[in-house]
Structure formats: structure tokens, C-alpha cells
Structure 1
Amino acid sequence: MTLRHFCSYVQWVPGSDVVVAQNRGNLCIWYSIDSPESITMFPVKGDIVDLERADGKTDVIVTEGVNTVTYTLDEGLIEFGTAIDDGDYERATAFLETLEMSPETEAMWKTLSKLALEAHQLHIAERCFAALGDVSTLRFLHQTNQIADKVSKEMGGDGTEFYQVQAHVAMLDKNFKLAEMHYMEQNAIDEAIEMYQELHMWDDCIAVAEAKGHPELEILRGNYYQWLTETGQDEKAGEVKENEGDFQGAVNLYLRAGLPAKAARLAISRMEITNNSDTVNRIASSLIKGEFYERAGDLYEQIRNNQRALECYCKGGAFRKAVELARIAFPAEVVKLEEAWGDYLIQQKQMDAAINHFIEAGCSVKAIEAAIAARQWKKAVHILELQDDSSAGKYYVKIAQYYASMQDYEVRGSNLEIPRCVDCQKTGGMKLQKEQQSLIS
């Protein structure tokens, strides 16, 4: 990542992770490169020419005209980086404790806290979080250290190797599955369940209880459901009821959560719900209110209320389902539905798709208009060839004008022949035979 633009000088401080650079008229120092946003800056008038470190002192040499000026860096902050590189976290802590809190020292406390946790030096980590003011993590680490100290005192050895301590460290890293593994390896099922309960990770809690056949499994499920309802998580509560086989309760919760489509999906798949007319009507009303007309149609079709299903399909623009249903239940309505389907497609600017539906409905004029609007000229001519009604003849003019603009002066139809002629070449128009000349006039 780019730390600074227009840098004429940049150098590491020897034996540390501190970076010094010159950014135009500023001396820039990063005492903790892991936190590049924490930068110390001083204005300088000249150019940095060298960096010297000797006798516990680090100087930046700057030339200002004929003079040479020295800027001394904060050795305490530099020593922190050296201690970190050496893995001496106690020395790093001692250095930081001598410094006042600033953005630079705060970044260093954060770095030290992370490294101390990774090294399982939990007392140092506790001190870091105290300096950072992270009270909740501080309290949790204090409890963890008490467990580790007690184990070391009573059993000897390194208390940080105890399973509870390792589980706590995994939790601090938000690796809850690793924490669960530490508990399960010691058959500490109740502790794993308690961890998930405190974190409100109820799905994992119940999964552990089910896997081990815990005697309080049903109580846990009841507590989970109660927590979901108290916190207004009706959708999740409905899923719990559905998994438990309480489908009616699940439907009620889905409706309460404003999810009628989810309730309809469950109702369609369960005969015992579709047999309950009150429940079906409630779901259908919610679907219609939410403008889920197609889903409402599916539900009505499932309970054999074909008339209402057809109405919902049409209202929701689901004409494919409407036509399929009408072919079985209302054959006389198919032609009307095909025309309505074509009209709907015209509204949606799907002219190409509308043509065939108008043909199926016997609406030749609408089919011709749709073909012309879609610029399907050949299809429009084909439909015109099949017409006996002279009223459709007016569309020959529009088609003729198109072919004239394309300089295609020969077109043949069932009732006309349009030959290439001198007049056509002169005017760019099309000369019809006698029986069609009245249309052009």
C-alpha cells in the first residue's frame, strides 16, 4: 500500500521496524509499520541526507542550506519495535508503560495484544487490553488467567495448555468451532452448550445437544423458541417450528413475520394445511395484499378453487399458468386468455412474443400490428396473405413504405404483385395493381 507520495528519502531504522521518510517539507516517522495510519510528522526546511544510530540514540541528519541539523527520534518507541522483533514482550510492555497514550502508542498496544495472544502470554495480553480500555475483553482474559493460574498451582505445568484456557483463547479469536473441539475432546458437553447459549448461537447449541443425546435437549429447544419470540425473530421461530413438524405453528409465525410466500410454500407442500380453509384464506389474503398474485394462484389451484386461481394468475401476469389451467377447467376461456396474454406482452414492450398469442386468439389485426411494431415485416406479410377481410388491406401501405425505403421494389402477396417499374425507381414508392390502388389514394 502507498503510505506517502512525493518521498525523496525513505529508510528503515537499523535493528527495528521503524520507517523514516521525507515527504516534501515533512519528516515522516512510522514507529509501528503494522499501523501505517499512525504517523508522526515534523516540518523540515532542508533535505534528509542520512540516518545514524549509535549509543542508544537515533538521529536524522538534515541539510538546511550550508547548515546541518539533527532530529533525534524517540528511542523508547524504537526500542519497542526491537523488543517485538526479539519476542521479548515483557520488555515491550515495560517500554510502553513509560509512554503517554497517543495514536502511536495505542497502535503499539494493539500490536502487542495480538502478538501476546498468539504466543499465549495471556497476562501481557490482559495488560494490553487494560491500556486500550477494552473492558469486556479485559474481564474475559482476567477470568481466563485465573483458570490458568489455578491449574498451574494445583496441577503444575503450563496452565495455558488446559482445555478451558485454550477454548477461551479460541473464543477471543472468534473461532468457536475450535473452542467447541477443545470442550468436546474432554467430553465437556455442558460447557460447550453453555458457550453457545451465552453467544446466542442456538443452532450450534442444539446441534451439539442432539449429537450427544443431551437429556435437556427439549428444554434447550423451548428456550431457543422463547428467545426467538421475545426478540421478534418470527421467521426464524417459524423455521424452528417447521423443523419440529409443527406446520400450522410455522405458518402462523411466517404470516406474523410478513412472509406470506414462505407460508404458501409450506401450505402447498402439506395436505393438512391445505385442508384447513381458514388457514388457506388467511395466507391467500396476505399474498394478494402483498401483490404475490401468482403465488396466491398456486395456492388456490392446490385447493381446487380454479376460478380464484385463474383470477390471480391473470392479475399477476402469469398467463402461461392461466392458459394451462383454463385448458383443463375452462376451455371456453382459452381464446380470451390468449388475447389478454398478447395485450399484456404489448404493455411489457414484448412485441415479438405477442404475435403468436394474437394468432392463437384469432386476433389477426392485433397480430399484424404487433408484427409491424416489432418490425417483423415478413411475418406481417404472411399474416396478411391469410386474410379475407379487406379492412386489413390498409396495412399494405405501411409494409410497402418500408420495402420502398429499403429499395426492395418487388414483393408478392396472395392478392397483389408489385413489380419493379420506372415510376418506382423515380419516386422510391411502390405501384400496386388496379385492385389495390385505392388504398394508396
Structure 2
Amino acid sequence: MKNTMLSFCTYVQWVPGSDVVVAQNRGNLCVWYTIDSPERVTMFSLKGDIVDLERSNGKTEVIVTEGVNSVSYTLDEGLIEFGTAIDDGDYYRATAFLETLEMSAETEAMWKTLSKLSLEAQQLHIAERCFAALGDVSKARFLNETNKIADAVSKEYGGDGTDHYQVKARLAMLDKNFKLAEMYYMEQNAVDEVMEMYQELHMWDECIAVAEAKGHPELDNLRHSYYSYLMETNQNEKAGEVKENEGDFTGAVNLYLKAGLPAKAAWLAMSRDELLSSHDIISRITAALIKGEFYERAGDLFERTRNNQRALECYRKGNAFKKAVDLARVAFPAEVVKLEEVWGDYLVQQKQMDAAINHYIEAGRSTKAIEAAIAARQWKKALHILEQQEDKTAAKYYLKIAQHYASVQENILRSQFKAHSAVI
């Protein structure tokens, strides 16, 4: 990826032996002591132009010409040395440099860079110091506990202790790679430690999955604790899913309704015959659906319980006319014609004139069909419907259609005349 760091740049140069960048933007001297954080830039006002960059005897100077005079600007050598130490991989020296500096935007960026690099290099004591300097108490405390484990392992078995499975797992947790942390624990068959990790993170589904896979004796207690946690935190939907997975479908429906999810309760009810046979459950679900204006879903549920009249009413309220017509053809044949007309009226309101035409024809409302065809500019279809009519009142539409074709013919003649004139 490319990003513009500085516009109107007339000079740019690396400071030799470091990752510090010096640049000029019109009347400003810009210095990036940490190039990994391009937004952290130190700026000075200039009256001239940068001509050179000199580094010698532990001192770095930017040479600027101001008319006939030359002026030098001295850069912060401590900050430059930090970059050099980072390039050399000497993170202890980089830490020592930073500890001599007061906290500023530049030094904060450097602490962040050092924290990232020291974690990647598994120099955990330095990483802990970085997070403490940044005020990230939780990470500093977590690394402090991790360092205690690594130090104890190092003291007992030698090495630096970072290869121990607990240390590797905790570092994976710090990186939010919990599956990798689980893998490290499971390689050592540390099932209880995996479960403890997931419980601390409130990742109960993963915790229970591990317990189920290993046949852990505390599985039932875990499930009970998880359900209690969900109820205490008002996570009714998730609690409902737990009940559904356990086969307690009535309890799941109650929780879905409590969570304000009647549609989810309806889907569950329609998939279970024992729920469909319960008049109380169906009444509560449909009442919640109608209150929430989920009319189509309420219609589906009423139809499944053979309450066709209520189903038809809900389909009409929810503008689910296809389902309404399909149901009416079976249960209420006399209503089909009325529904087709209402369907056509609804489509006209939605400016879907083309779709409304056939529904008006099915309803026997020819006048509305002609008007819809004319509004949709379906002139041939309008003329065809009109020719089938015996009612003289429809004859007035001939004039509109004739006017359309007359205007089309006039435009054709006009375009032919223009073409002929151009040739002449």
C-alpha cells in the first residue's frame, strides 16, 4: 500500500544508520523519528531550504540556507539512537534510551513499536515494560504473570522458559488467537486449563465443546453455569438457543418471546409438531407476531395450525398476496377474485403497473387493467384488452391510445423531414 506522508515535499533523506526520515514541506522541517508511525511527525518552522544532512561525533545536524547564511538544526540524538538500536535488534538498548525521555507523541509511538517488536522476538520482560510505559495495565499485568511462569520454568529446567506450553498459550491468548492457545494446552492434555481459559473469557460455547469432546465430569455443571450466566446478563436469545440444543423446545420458545424474537419462536414452532399442537404456545407466538407486525409469519403459523381464516387475514395485512391467493383457491374460492383486485391495487400503489395488469384481468376489472396498461405504456396490451370489451364506457380510452399513436407517427414524419433536409 502507498500512502502520502507529505505534500509539496522539496527535500527528503534518511538519517544515516537509522530509520529516521527528514523532509521539507515549504516552510517546515519535518522529522519522523519512527517511520512505522507516519502520523507521528515532529515539525519546525524554516525560513530557508534544506541543503544537506550531516551526522558525525554522535551529533546529527540539518543544514539550511537562509539567504547568504547557513543555519544548522540539531536533531534529538536519543531518538535517533533508538531507531539504530531497533535496526540492530538491541531492544534492551532501545528501552534504556526511551527511559531517559519524557513521554510525548514521538516517544509513545516508539514505545508501541518496541512493544510490538519485543513480543515478536519473545523478549517478554521488555514487552511488559513497554505496556507499563504506555499505561496498558491489563497487558502489563498479563505479561507479568506470564514472565513469572517463564522465569520459574527457566530456573527449574534452564533456557528462557518461552518454549513452555503455558507461556506459548498465554502469548497466543494475548494475540487473540484462542484456538492456537487451545492447541498448545491440548497437546499437553491440559483440559482443565483450556476450560479455565474459555471461562475467564466468557467463551462458554467453546468451553462446553471441549468438555463434551473430552467427556469431562463437570459437563452438566458447566451447562448449568452457562445458562445461569446468560439469564443473569439478560441474554435471552442465547439462553433460548441453549434450551433448543438441549431439546427443551417449550423453554426455548418462552425465551425467544422474552427476547422479543417472535419470528424465531415461530420458526421453531413450525418445525416441531409438539409445539404446533399446543394452543397456548401458538396463541402467544401469533399474538407477539401480530403485535410486531410480522403478519406474513403469523399467517404461516395460522395456516400450519389450519386456522385458515386468521391466516388469510394476516396474509392480507402483510401484503403477502401470493400466499393469500394460494390459500384462498383451496379454502375460500369465492375470495380469489376480490384478492386479485386488491393485489392489483397494491401493485399500482407500489408503481408496479406492469405487474398489476394481469391481476386486474384475473379479477375481471377490465377498466383498471386498461388504465394500468396505459400508465405502464403497454399500448398494444391496452388495445387488446379494450377490443375484448362490450361495455361502451370503455370507448373513451380509444382516444388516449389514438393520441399516442398519432404523436408517434408525427415524430416519425418529423425525423424523416429533418433527415431529408440535411441531405438537401
Do both proteins adopt the same fold according to a TM-score greater than 0.5, normalized to the shorter chain? Answer: yes
- Find the aligned partners of 1:115 and 1:144 in 2 and give their Cα distance: 17
Separation of aligned partners in 2, 1:36 and 1:23: 15
Tell me the CA shift for residue 158 of structure 1: 2.5
Instruction: Output the CA distance in 2 between the equivalents of 1:320 and 1:221.
Output: 44
How many residues end up aligned between the 2 structures?
A: 409
The TM-score with structure 1 as length reference comes to 0.91
Residue 77 of structure 1 aligns with which residue? Answer: 79
Higher deviation after alignment, 11-20 or 206-215:
206-215
Which of 385, 388, 391 in structure 1 is aligned with 2:390? 388
The alignment status of 1:406 with 2:408, answered yes or no, reads: yes
Letter in 1 for 2:334: A
Q: How does 1:218-367 map to 2 (within 5 A)?
A: 218-367=220-369
Partner Cα separation in structure 2 for residue 187 and residue 196 of structure 1: 15
Shift of 1:38: 1.3
- Quote how far apart the aligned CAs of 1:407 are: 2.2
Secondary structure, counterpart of 2:409 in structure 1: coil
Q: Report runs of 4+ in structure 1 exceeding 3 Å deviation.
A: none
Identity %: 79
Equivalent in the alignment of 2:52: 50
Aligned twin of 2:127: 125
Residues 374-400 of structure 1, C-alpha deviations (whole Å, 9 max, x = no match): 111111111121112222222212222
Matched residue, 1:34: 36
CA–CA separation in structure 1 for the residues paired with 2:113 and 2:389: 85
> 2:260 and 2:358 mapped to 1: Cα distance?
39
Deviations 1:384-437 (A, max 9, x none): 2111222222221222222222228xxxxxxxxxxxxxxxxxxx9xxxxxxxxx
Stretch of structure 1 that moved more, 286-295 or 331-340: 331-340
Q: Which amino acid aligns with 2:117?
A: L
User: Structure 2: which amino acid aligns with 1:359?
Assistant: I
For residues 394 and 70 of structure 1, what CA distance do their matches in structure 2 show? Answer: 94
Deviation of 1:208 (Å)? 1.3
SS at match of 1:161: coil
Amino acid at match of 2:96: A
Name which of structure 1's ranges 364-373 and 112-121 shifts more when overlaid on structure 2.
Answer: 364-373
| Aligned residue number for residue 420 of structure 1 | none
- In structure 2, what residue type is equivalent to 1:28? C
C-alpha separation in 2, matches of 1:349 and 1:131: 64
Query: Which sits farther off after the overlay, 87-96 or 241-250?
Result: 241-250
* d(CA) in 1 for partners of 2:23, 2:374: 72
> Which residue does the alignment assign to 1:162?
164
Q: Give, as a single letter, the amino acid of the residue that structure 1 aligns with 2:408.
A: M
Q: CA deviation at 1:131?
A: 1.0
Matching residue of 1:175 = 177
Corresponding residue SS for 1:92: helix
Q: Which residue of 2 aligns with 1:435?
A: none
1:213 matched residue in structure 2: 215
Q: CA deviation at 1:157?
A: 2.3
Distance in 2, matches of 1:39 and 1:31, equals 7
Quote the residue 1:425 is aligned against.
Answer: none
**Counterpart Cα distance in 2 of 1:202 and 1:165:** 23
1:60-75 aligned within 5 A: 60-75=62-77
Report the equivalent of 1:374.
376
Specify the code of the residue in structure 1 equivalent to 2:277.
N
- Residue identity in the other structure for 1:161: D
Q: Structure 1: which amino acid aligns with 2:214?
A: K
Aligned mates of 1:367, 1:99 — CA distance in 2:
83
Distance 1:389 1:70 in 2: 101
SS of match in other structure, 1:8: strand
- 1:340 and 1:404 map into 2 onto residues whose CA distance is 34
Larger Cα-atom Rg = 1
Q: Distance in 2 between matches of 1:270 and 1:248?
A: 10
Whether 2:110 is the aligned partner of 1:108: answer: yes
- The farther-off stretch of 397-406 and 326-335 is 397-406
What is the aligned-residue RMSD (CA, Å)? Answer: 1.3
SS of 1:406's partner is helix
Which segment is superposed worse, 387-396 or 138-147?
A: 387-396
Alpha-carbon distance in 1 for matches of 2:243, 2:210 = 19
**1:342 Cα deviation after fit:** 1.2
Deviates further, 105-114 or 213-222: 213-222
- Name the SS for the 1:258 alignment partner: coil
| Shift of residue 367, structure 1, vs aligned partner | 1.3
Letter in 2 for 1:137: K
Distance 1:379 1:43 in 2: 77
Which runs of 5 or more residues in structure 2 are unaligned?
Answer: 412-424
- Following superposition, the deviation at residue 219 of structure 1 comes to 1.3
**Whole-Å Cα distance in 2 between the matches of residues 134 and 345 of structure 1?**
60
Distance 2:408 2:44 in 1: 76
Specify the alignment match of 2:414 in structure 1: none
Q: Secondary structure at the match of 1:61?
A: strand
Alpha-carbon deviations, 1:43-89, whole Å to 9, x = none?
12111110111111111111111111111111111111111111111
SS at match of 1:407: helix
Q: Which amino acid aligns with 2:63?
A: I
AA partner of residue 85 (structure 1): D
- 2:216 is paired with a residue whose SS is coil
Unaligned runs of 5+ in 1: 409-427, 429-441
Query: CA shift at 1:218, angstroms?
Result: 1.6
| Residue 419 (structure 2) aligns with | none
Amino acid in structure 2 at the alignment position of 1:102: S
1:178 CA displacement: 0.9
Alignment partner for residue 203 of structure 2, among 201, 205, 208? 201
Query: What is the match of residue 186 of structure 1?
Result: 188
Residues of 1 paired with 2:73 and 2:397: CA distance?
A: 91
Aligned amino acid, residue 308 of structure 1: R
SS of residue paired to 1:38: coil
